[in-house]
Amino acid sequence: MDRHLDAIDGLRGIAIALVVAYHSWLVYGSSLGLLSQAGFLGVELFFALSGFCMFYPFARAKFFGTPAPEWGQYAYRRAIKIVPSYLVALTVFALCYARRDGSDHTAIGYAAHVLFVHPLLPHQFQSISGPLWTIGVEVQFYLIFPLLASLFVRRPLLGAATVAVVATAYRVAVLLVNPDPGFFPSNQVIAFLDLFGAGMLAAYAVAWAHSRPAHVDIRPAATAVAVTSVVVAGAGMVAFARSDAMTDSSVFFVWQLHWRLAIAVVLFALVAATTLALPTLRRIVANPVTTFLAVVSYNLYLWHLEILAFGQREGLALPVALFGAIAVAAAVTYGLERPLLAARFFGTPARRQSVQTA
């Protein structure tokens, strides 16, 4: 079976499109309705896809007897994928904002970001550039992933239940301590464990399904589940848009904490079912636009908000700013990220495998 899962690329493209639509709305006031207003959920989808992509090779190894990735290779691929592009963006942003924020403050923030500890520090959580907090959360998840992977390989349902209980307990504790939690406590890595776990469980389900006898065709049922999950997600977005969370930031974070487990369940169904669906649905999801966006998604995520903010300050039209963000993302992706992923360092070949480079 081809390890390149086209639906995963399509979903990644949809995730970055949601995030960019959300920030375009915040910066320019240009709205695509629900897609903009609830576009922050693209981050949740990214976390689920990350869990899928990281765990899928281990799930395949269990069901197909292929060698599981070595942990040294795992760490290398994570670093070569994430760090160089991140450092380029971080350095540019820090230099641009050093005068505004003061050199001492910027230097402290830069050090915290380089060490990926900025999400743990209230005053650095969103310093330098807002979206970078998710990179810190992602890297912190990488550190605990080996432990979770060991559990999910042996007992996937227990693993999913464990991360759900831990994440839910943390979110309940946050609400009990502070009914108006705010951004910082609501978005720590522990608060997202069930989203990462949803992706890992989806990867296990997909590998299991692909190991079934060829005459067992689950694609029609998977397609129905995928469509249902989209309908449920749409209904949830409508409910959010009509709630007080749409206009009240304190209610917004409470809403996130209340509904994140339900979001994880929907994302498990969406990711697993879409990946296993009929080719027609997979082609719709993984169309040329979403596939291209998937390729540049990481660098587009890093750069788009700052370029949008610059465009708005300079009076540039939104399409011009978006074109600039995509152009920069493509340049960094094809000029830095892809060559590094294809290169050989320290004797380790970094062959392109879609599910391992998300």
Q: Taking the chain (358 residues) in consecutive chunks of 10 residues, what is each chunk's mean pLDDT?
A: 76 98 95 91 97 96 90 88 96 91 88 96 91 96 96 97 98 92 92 98 96 86 97 95 89 94 98 96 96 97 97 96 98 95 60 44
Cα–Cα distance between 307 and 89 in angstroms, integer? 11
Closest CA to 294 of 4, 5, 15, 22: 15
Residue owning tokens 């309908």: 231
What local confidence, expressed as pLDDT, does residue 282 receive?
96
* 124 close to 165: Cβ distance less than 8 angstroms: no
Task: Tell me how long the chain is.
Answer: 358
pLDDT computed for residue 105 by the predictor:
84
Task: Report the 3 state secondary structure along 27-73.
Answer: HHCCCCCHHHHCCCHHHHHHHHHHHHHHHHHHHHHHHHCCCCCCHHH
DSSP code string of 128-183:
SSGGGHHHHHHHHHHHHHHHHHHHHHH-HHHHHHHHHHHHHHHHHHHHHH-SS--H
Model pLDDT, residue 4: 62
Write the CA distances from 244 to 19, 84, 255, 260, 331, integer angstroms: 21, 40, 9, 17, 40
- Give the residues across from 344 on adjacent strands: 349
In DSSP notation, 198-246 reads: HHHHHHHHHHHHHTS-TT---HHHHHHHHHHHHHHHHHHHHHHHTSGGG
Element (H, E) at 188: none
Q: What is the pLDDT at residue 344?
A: 58
Instruction: Give the pLDDT of residue 187.
Output: 94
349 by DSSP, 3-state: which?
Answer: strand
287: Cβ contacts below 8 Å, ≥ 6 apart: 10
- Write down the domain spans for the chain: 6-356
CA–CA gap between residue 195 and residue 266 (Å, rounded): 10
β-strand pairing of 344-345 with 348-349: antiparallel
Distance CA 290, CA 14 (A): 6
As given in the structure block, the two tokens for residue 296 are: 């540049």
Q: Which two tokens stand for residue 279?
A: 């080719």
β-bridge mates for residue 345, sequence order: 348
CB atoms within 10 A of CB 133: 22
- Number of alpha carbons in the 13 Å side-chain half-sphere of residue 103: 0
Place of tokens 């291209």: 292
**How far, in Å, CA of 156 to CA of 308, rounded?**
41
Count the alpha carbons within 13 Å of 180 in the hemisphere toward its beta carbon. 3
- Cα 350 to its chain centre, rounded Å, is 22
Q: Which amino acid is at 135?
A: I
